[in-house]
Amino acid sequence: MDYNQLYNNILRKGSFLCTGLDSDPALFPAFIREKELPIFEFNRAIIDATIEYSVAYKPNLAFYEAEGAIGWEQLKMTVEYIRKKDSSVFIIADAKRGDIGNTAKKYASAFFDKLDFDAVTLAPYMGRDSIDPFLKQRGKWAIVLALTSNPSADDFETLNVGETPLYRRVIESVMDWGSQDNTMFVVGATRPEKLAQIREFCPNHFLLVPGVGTQGGTVAEVAKYGMNSSCGLLVNVSRAISFAWMDDETGKYSGGVNFDKAAGEAAALIVKEMRCFLAS
Amino acid sequence: MDYNQLYNNILRKGSFLCTGLDSDPALFPAFIREKELPIFEFNRAIIDATIEYSVAYKPNLAFYEAEGAIGWEQLKMTVEYIRKKDSSVFIIADAKRGDIGNTAKKYASAFFDKLDFDAVTLAPYMGRDSIDPFLKQRGKWAIVLALTSNPSADDFETLNVGETPLYRRVIESVMDWGSQDNTMFVVGATRPEKLAQIREFCPNHFLLVPGVGTQGGTVAEVAKYGMNSSCGLLVNVSRAISFAWMDDETGKYSGGVNFDKAAGEAAALIVKEMRCFLAS
Mean pLDDT by 10 residues, chain B (280 residues): 98 98 96 97 98 98 93 97 98 95 91 95 97 96 96 96 96 98 96 94 98 86 96 97 90 89 97 92
Beta pairing, strands A207-209 & A183-187: parallel
Mutate to test the interface with B, among A100, A173, A215 (most CBs of B within 10 A): A100
Cβ neighbours around B279 below 10 Å, total: 7
Rounded to the nearest 5°, which phi and psi values hold at A218?
-125, 150
Cα distances from A20 to residues A11, A92, A123, A239, B220, in angstroms, run 20, 9, 18, 7, 49
pLDDT of amino acid A58: 98
Q: Where do runs of H (alpha helix) occur along A30-110? A: 30-33, 38-50, 61-65, 69-85, 101-108
Give the E-state strand segments of A196-277 in sequence order. Answer: 207-209, 233-237
Nearest to B101 among A72, A150, A166 (CB): A150
Q: Per-residue confidence at A70, pLDDT binned at 50, 70, 90?
A: very high
Is B109 in the A-facing interface, judged by CB distances under 8 Å?
A: yes
CB half-sphere exposure, A199, CA atoms < 13 A: 17
**% of chain A at pLDDT higher than 90:** 89
Spell out which residues of chain B touch residue A170, defining contact as CB-CB under 8 Å: 156
Q: Kindly report the average pLDDT of chain A as a whole number.
A: 95
| Closest by Cα among A119, A107, A104 to A56 | A119
Instruction: Judge: A151–B157 Cβ closer than 8 Å, yes or no.
Output: no
Q: Per-residue confidence at A86, pLDDT binned at 50, 70, 90?
A: very high
Nearest to B127 among A65, A128, A156 (CB): A156
Q: How far apart are the first and last CA of chain A?
A: 25
CATH fold of B3-279, please? Answer: TIM Barrel (3.20.20)
CB half-sphere exposure, B97, CA atoms < 13 A: 32
CA dihedral A73, A79, A80, A83 (to 10 degrees): 180
pLDDT of amino acid A234: 98
| Closest by Cα among A31, A83, A8, A88 to A260 | A31
Ranges of each domain in chain B:
3-279
pLDDT of amino acid B101: 85
DSSP B16: -
Spell out which residues of chain A touch residue B69, defining contact as CB-CB under 8 Å: 69-70, 72-73, 76
Cα distances from B248 to residues A226, B214, B262, in angstroms, run 56, 13, 8
> Is residue B216 exposed (0-12), middle (13-18) or buried (19+ Cβ within 10 Å)?
exposed
Q: Considering only alpha carbons, which residue of chain B is nearest residue A169?
A: B156
Instruction: Judge: B153–A96 Cβ closer than 8 Å, yes or no.
Output: no
Shortest Cα–Cα distance, A127 to chain B (Å): 5
Cα distances from A268 to residues A47, A51, A245, A252, A253, in angstroms, run 13, 10, 14, 17, 17
**In one letter, which amino acid is B15?**
S
Reported as type and span, the H/E element at residue A20 is strand A17-21
Q: Per-residue confidence at A95, pLDDT binned at 50, 70, 90?
A: very high
Mutate to test the interface with A, among B40, B61, B156 (most CBs of A within 10 A): B156
Contact A261, A34 (CB under 8 A): no
Express each pLDDT in B64-81 by its tens digit: 999 999 999 999 999 999
Shortest Cα–Cα distance, B152 to chain A (Å): 5
Instruction: Judge: B66–A114 Cβ closer than 8 Å, yes or no.
Output: yes
Three-state SS for B60?
A: strand
pLDDT of amino acid B248: 82
pLDDT of amino acid A206: 98
Instruction: Judge: B152–A65 Cβ closer than 8 Å, yes or no.
Output: no
Contact A208, A18 (CB under 8 A): yes
Cα distances from A15 to residues A12, B51, B213, in angstroms, run 8, 55, 51
Interval A145-157 mean pLDDT: 95
Express each pLDDT in A198-229 by its tens digit: 999 999 999 999 989 877 889 999 999 999 99
pLDDT of amino acid A252: 87
Express each pLDDT in A10-69 by its tens digit: 999 999 999 999 999 999 999 999 999 999 999 999 999 999 999 999 999 999 999 999
- Going across the sheet that includes A160-161, the strands are A164-165, A160-161, B160-161, B164-165
Maximal CA-CA distance, chain B: 55
Express each pLDDT in A232-253 by its tens digit: 999 999 999 999 999 888 888 8
Three-state SS for A59?
A: strand
Radius of gyration from C-alpha coordinates of chain B: 18
| Closest by Cα among B21, B55, B44 to B235 | B55
d(CA B277, CA B218): 13
Is B119 in the A-facing interface, judged by CB distances under 8 Å?
A: no
Nearest to B62 among A110, A150, A160 (CB): A110
| Closest by Cα among A221, A214, A220 to A191 | A221
